[in-house]
């Protein structure tokens, strides 16, 4: 379970960079297509579903909840 949680964390970190880049673009006045927000949201939701599907016990369960 810990490896699966680490995989999700890695993907979420990559998506966080993507979201940060979108934020910089929007704050800078760049017109960003709605599609970019929809795709980012969908990718984050997929990671959430992966995290929810991890069957964890003990320490791994606490780690999953912390994510």
Could you tell me the domains of the chain? 2-66 (1.20.58.120)
Under a CB-based contact definition with an 8 Å cutoff, are residues 44 and 15 in contact?
A: yes
The rounded distance, in Å, linking the Cα atoms of 67 and 34 is 27
Under a CB-based contact definition with an 8 Å cutoff, are residues 22 and 36 in contact?
A: yes
Between 54 and 14, name the one with better pLDDT: 14
Give pLDDT, residue 61. Answer: 64
Give pLDDT, residue 2. Answer: 83
Please, which pLDDT band fits residue 55 given cuts at 50, 70 and 90? confident
Percent of the chain at pLDDT exceeding 90: 67
Helices (H) and strands (E) in the chain, counts: 3, 0
């Amino acid at each position: 379970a810990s490896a699966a949680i680490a995989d999700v964390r890695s993907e979420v970190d990559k998506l966080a960079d993507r979201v940060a880049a979108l934020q910089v673009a929007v704050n800078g006045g760049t017109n960003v297509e709605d599609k970019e927000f929809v795709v980012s949201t969908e990718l984050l939701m997929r990671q959430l579903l992966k995290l929810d599907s991890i069957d964890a016990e003990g320490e791994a369960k606490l780690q999953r909840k912390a994510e």
